[in-house]
Structure 1
Amino acid sequence: MRNILPLRSALLLVLIASVAVAKGRDVNVRSIYLHGSQNERVEQVYVTPDVTTVLRFEQPCVAAGTKMVGWEGRFEPVACAGKSVLIVPLQRFEPEDRFILAVMLADGTEVPFTLLGATRKAGEWPDQQVNVFIQPDTREALQAQLKETRERERLLEESAWRRYQEDTADHAIAKLLVSGDIKQTSLVQWEQRVLKGRSARIIARVYGGKRKAAVLFTVTNRDPSKSWSLAEARLRTMRPGEDQRPPFLFGEERPFALRADRDELAPGETGTLAVVVDRNAFETESGLVKTLALEIYRQDGLLDAHVILDRRLVRE
């Protein structure tokens, strides 16, 4: 192996970084439709620390009549701001925790809610904004429902297209890597580094093979209260002599396959994600490039790790 790769550091440079690179994230906004004072259902709202949840109504709320039971030490005082109610949790909640919030509106309507700790299960993601319509047949409510229907259709189309695009041999290899079935591939491990960041411990294993290179990240969330999740992975070309310190903003984006064994890591949990790169990624319109930069961004948009991949990993 050393005959092929005499300088280990020339093939792999992995660094933990705290580079604040802007990364847009979808805001979790949803709507609920009630039936005035006749509504018998108590709506559930999912909250999480460090995220302000906004309840948005069609009319102003009344601060004196808006109350939460047992909020002391768990939330900041609930605030009414015009037509909005602001909810700010101070700590993570156990699955069995429930908090009752009653919102008083200007016309005297009282709207109850149950606040629960958010999870990553379907329908239990943190609510960042909840639009509350007391009369679901108003023009504003109908427009909101139409917008949501169109958005669901768009997401379904994107999901179907993404599944179609990810039905490739490289995605199959990535799936084998995250499931631990590396022996079923032709990849050979070339390098391993143990990294320690502020909130995660990451082991990066780099593999090379016939026309393929891969990186398997094993991530352990060391934050005592916050979950870890992948926001984005980027693969870019590097110019000769370019500084190997991130971020890499000017290279050409190159294709890759990615698989992860879970969407989110709770405090203390460990998970894996794999990136597979084909030899074609090193071939651009301007010719072959020697190195590619792989960057891993976590949920808050910060760069958590990067790997420099050398073309010699992808042998013919």
Structure 2
Amino acid sequence: MKTRALGQFGRVLPVVFVLASLFVEAQEPPTPTWQPVRRNLYLSKDPDRAVPEVFVAARTVTTLRFELPCDPARTRMLGWEGRFEPLLVGGGSVVIVPLRELAPDDRFMLVVTLTDGTSLPFTVTAAKDVVDGQIDVFPDSESPEAVRVELRARQAENRSLRAENWRYRREETSVEHALATLLANNETALTPFRVEEKWRPPTPELDAEVSILLPKGRTARGRAAVVFQITNLTTGKPWTLQEARLMDAATLEKKPFALRASAASIAPGETGRIAIVMDLPPPESVKTGDMLVLELFGNAGLRQGYVELDLSALAARVRR
């Protein structure tokens, strides 16, 4: 469904803001751009083990890597004609390239035979959340190389988890996230913000009130906030914020922000608040026409609204 032009249903707020109507028409997200991932696959010697799956996408190269060389004459995929490029088999690699997207129920049997005579079956199917870029296959999960690779993977995972925990701890103690928490809990009076503008766009399924907040003193001089108070008017399903994005309108560069919600989802008949606090660039660095775009994506990942902020006009408002 196409989003209508801003002038048909939007509103130009004095000097600073342009708001597009939220939640009126959900815009289909663009076709996902697959980011191929690399993973390790450790096979079991149990004869009852499930056949491992390989997730592929159109015109995306998926490579299976083995510890031993593959036998090209005995490596084959059934029913590949017209759906895939011919398999490329060389050394310890098997390369799969689909010519077009597969249907969710498409499944192709791939049998890879190594030079020692070991035959390994795989099921090639359509990518779901991710597409396989490279799979490092270890037929013997207890081989020295498999153990070394698994150890490195566990160490990398532990480092990532420690970094993520540190990031969460920093968020919990950061000023921006603390302010967003207060705003989401409707404690605006406890923050250094004032409500600059409010707007209630026409919405068929959600009663949404949008508030723009600016600093009322020096404490938050370099910040601004946007608060969405949303009442779910539907009778059958909760509304959930899937993602929020803040970008430079000209370069599409993503900008950091703090987000807090009063609830994970908003049930039918219930009201919730979503608060976003962002840093503002120094006024002397802002040029006429500099804009930030804040986008909201709701149920099923559909874009359901956006807010545009004119940074040059915003700087003038903050200085007064």
TM-score range (shorter-chain normalised) is: 0.5 to 0.7
AA aligned opposite 2:71: V
Residue correspondence of structure 1 range 89-104 to structure 2 within 5 A: 89-104=98-113
Distance in 2 of aligned mates of 1:55 and 1:135 = 15
Q: Share of identical aligned residues, percent?
A: 32
Are the aligned partners of 2:195 and 2:211 in contact in 1 as well (CA < 8 Å)?
A: no
Please point out which of 73, 88, 92 is paired with 1:83.
92
AA aligned opposite 2:37: N
How much does 1:80 deviate? 0.7
Distance in 2 of aligned mates of 1:37 and 1:108 = 18
Are the aligned partners of 1:255 and 1:277 in contact in 2 as well (CA < 8 Å)?
A: no
Distance in 2 of aligned mates of 1:257 and 1:209 = 14
What is the root-mean-square deviation of aligned Cα atoms in Å? 4.7
Rg larger in 1 or in 2?
2
Instruction: Give the match's secondary structure for 1:115.
Output: strand
Tell me what 2:37 maps to. Answer: 28
Tell me what 1:148 maps to. Answer: 153
Please point out which of 62, 76, 86 is paired with 2:71.
62
Asked if 1:109 is matched to 2:118, the reply is yes
Tell me what 1:289 maps to. Answer: 285
Residue correspondence of structure 1 range 1-316 to structure 2 within 5 A: 4-5=14-15, 28-35=37-44, 40-120=49-129, 125-167=130-172, 168-169=177-178, 186=195, 188=197, 208-211=212-215, 212-214=224-226, 246=251, 255-257=256-258, 276-278=276-278, 280-283=279-282, 288-291=284-287, 294=292, 309-313=310-314, 315-316=317-318
Distance in 1 of aligned mates of 2:110 and 2:183 = 45
AA aligned opposite 2:78: V
Instruction: Give the match's secondary structure for 1:55.
Output: strand
Are the aligned partners of 1:174 and 1:257 in contact in 2 as well (CA < 8 Å)?
A: no
CA deviation map 1:114-151 (0-9, x unaligned)? 1221212xxxx211111001222222111100111012
Higher relative contact order (CA 8 A, sep 6+): 1
Distance in 2 of aligned mates of 1:152 and 1:254 = 27
Instruction: Give the match's secondary structure for 1:96.
Output: coil
How much does 1:35 deviate? 4.5
Distance in 1 of aligned mates of 2:113 and 2:260 = 46
* Structure 2: 5+ residue stretches without partners: 1-10, 21-33, 186-193, 202-209, 216-223, 229-241, 262-273, 295-305
Change (3 A) 1:255 1:35: closer
How much does 1:245 deviate? 5.1
Change (3 A) 1:37 1:62: farther
**TM-score normalised by the chain length of structure 2:** 0.55
Instruction: Give the match's secondary structure for 1:77.
Output: coil
Tell me what 2:268 maps to. Answer: none
**TM-score normalised by the chain length of structure 1:** 0.55
The count of aligned residue pairs is 230
Distance in 2 of aligned mates of 1:175 and 1:100 = 51
Are the aligned partners of 1:213 and 1:313 in contact in 2 as well (CA < 8 Å)?
A: no
* Structure 1: 5+ residue stretches without partners: 13-24, 177-184, 193-205, 217-228, 236-243, 261-273, 297-304
How much does 1:186 deviate? 4.8
How much does 1:88 deviate? 1.1
How much does 1:51 deviate? 1.9
